[in-house]
Chain A
Amino acid sequence: MDNTGTSSTPGLKSNALWCFVLLCIVGIEVWLTYLHLPSGTLLSFLLVCAFFEAAIAVTYFMHLKYESPNLAWSLIPALIFVLLLMGHMLPDAMRVVNLRVIHW
């Protein structure tokens, strides 16, 4: 259970700095929202921002950067595979919008 081999992890100042970076990204997301972009464009931008935030949180807050490379290699390829599968199925939702139920 004791896996505190992360002796080279950053200190409080570095963590606070990354927290500030994340807050800035949140600010960018809110700004993009009120630009009233088309839904598809807004969603793309928000997802990119969210993945940046997730990468920062996983790397620096969850200390994946300082863990064994095997852990990262176990997680990242599986994540990419799942995301590709999701992306492959999502366009069906756009086709569903155009399906009509015929009432006889």
Chain B
Amino acid sequence: MWLFIASDAVTFGAILYAYAFVRIATGNWTRPFEVSSIVNGIVMTTVLLVSSVTMLAAFDAAKQNQRSQSFIWLGVTMMLGIVFAALHIREWIKLIDEGWRLFQNPTGGPVVVGSTFFCITGLHLMHIIAGVFAIAVVAIKYRRGSLNAGHVESVGLYWHFVDLVWMFVFPLVYLMNAK
């Protein structure tokens, strides 16, 4: 799992680096995020951080072979992941309603603002959704006894990595583009 995380980190690192390069190289960059978007981002960050704590609780329970307890904590982590995804999609809908698209900037500024935002946050959202599915599979199989605590740890590592990526996405994409 560490090798997979390293490769995924390189992917996100390359995308965020490309975004930083384009952002610096574009003189009239549009800043689309109002206070409501930043507040939404803070709530999303809180939800994701709490989900990391619940994932750690699931692993602690799994280490002590408390399968039911671990299953519950994994379920809570999944719910928090779904809440994060819902908040994220709500933010997307708000921006799309304002006229933002992959290749459209409603203010008349550079269209790359929209494309970088939707691509970076979309890739992260895909990881969140995939993580929710992975946690569900591990939770069900662990409860049945076909998986062990090591599998819970592995899916936990992936979830913490997704959280870690958000620690970079939120300041670079949201806070740097706050109005």
Contacts and interface: CB of A to CB of B under 8 A. Distances in A.
Contacts, number: 119
B interface SS class = helix
Most buried by B among A15, A42, A71, A89: A15
Contacts of A6: 63, 153
B21 A12 contact: no
Contacts of B151: 1
A26 B176 CA distance: 13
A40 to B, nearest CB: 9
A92 B18 CA distance: 12
Interface residues of A, number: 45
Contacts of B6: 75, 78
B42 A15 contact: no
Interface in A62-104: 62, 71, 75, 78, 82, 86, 89-90, 92-94, 96-97
Given A23-B46, A93-B24, A50 B171 contact: yes
B106 to A, nearest CB: 22
Interface in A9-58: 9, 11-12, 15-16, 19, 22-23, 26, 29-30, 32-34, 39, 42-43, 46-47, 49-50, 53-54, 57-58
Contacts of B175: 29-30, 32-33, 42, 46
Interface string B53-89: 1001100101100000000000000000000000000
B154 A1 contact: yes
Contacts of B26: 97
Contacts of B167: 22, 50, 53-54, 57
Contacts of B56: 12, 15, 61
A33 B167 CA distance: 15
Contacts of B171: 29, 46-47, 49-50
Contacts of B116: none
Interface stretch (B94-102, B124-132, B158-166): B158-166
